[in-house]
Amino acid sequence: MILGVPIGIAITGWLGWQAIFIILGLLSLGMAFIIHRFLPRMSGDMPASFRQQFKVLGSTVIVSLLVLTFFRESGNSVLLTYLTTFINDILHLNAAAISLLMLGYGILGALAAKLGGSGADRWGTKRIIVLSLILHAAALILLPLFSGSIITECLLIAIVMFSMFMGGPALQTHFIQQAPGSSSLVLSLNTSMIHLGLAAGAGSGGMLISQTSTVLYNPWLAGIVVVLGLGTAVLSFSLGNRRAPQTL
């Protein structure tokens, strides 16, 4: 995110978007060889039985957290998949300016992840998750209302990035706290929901653009989805208060 997005934008402007996939393919092959050659072999965890997996999915708290992840990542993807288009079409910035802006957002995201992790340790995962979702939804809903102000729009996008990265570590930690005996399993399920959410958000964002012929309203759809995630978070925390964390 910090280096990849601005570098990708620069390469797209220089060689075209097709070159991105060729370069990524070559780099992936190189990394696969390096990992195979130099990464030491390590024994993995014991495979989780179907019984254990269904037991985890039988927890309403875990399922509601997975739904939260889906809404959160869908909301992110509705806008972020088309963020370059949004900045280009709505803010009318050129490729060089977008690259620098993305670099700044990436650095901000890294700082936010650090603060989110330390904040979760200090104030608790629930507070950080709720705060990040409130900031996230508010910034998204405000974005289309300030399309005439470049500075305001850039600041709102910065809040979106900050809240998104701040909430990630807290959510992962909360998953582990709710099922400490099955942390690997719940985190793998969470990763699956992340990818499903990204795909759903990108698809719904594209459909909205197709219907409205503009990317201006994508933040509103993203904000609605994140609000659904906030409601799911409150529900999950309420359910979690009624029982002790699982030791699956």
Q: Are residues 189 and 140 in the same domain?
A: yes
Are residue 204 and residue 236 in the same domain, yes or no?
A: yes
pLDDT of amino acid 243 = 62
Better-scored residue on pLDDT, 136 or 19: 136
Q: What is the mean pLDDT of residues 8-35?
A: 83
- Domain with 22 in it: 1-40
C-alpha triplet 183, 176, 158: angle, nearest 5°: 120
Residues 70 and 160 in one domain: yes
203 within domain boundaries: yes
What are 209-241's pLDDT values in tens digits?
A: 999 999 999 999 999 999 999 999 999 898 877
Per-residue pLDDT, averaged over 183-208, amounts to 91
* Amino acid present at 89: D
Whether 9 shows a pLDDT value over 90: the answer reads no
- Is there a single domain that holds both residue 56 and residue 6? no
- Domain with 232 in it: what CATH number? 1.20.1250.20
- pLDDT score recorded for residue 248: 46
The reply to whether 36 and 125 lie within a common domain is no
Note whether 25 and 57 are same-domain residues: no
Identify the residue with better confidence: 101 or 248: 101
**Structure tokens, 65:** 């957290």
Answer yes or no: are the C-beta atoms of 112 and 159 closer than 8 Å: no
Q: For 144-150, what is the mean pLDDT? A: 90
Q: Which residues contact 199 (CB under 8 A, 6 or more apart)?
A: 77
| CA 225/CA 78 separation, integer angstroms | 9
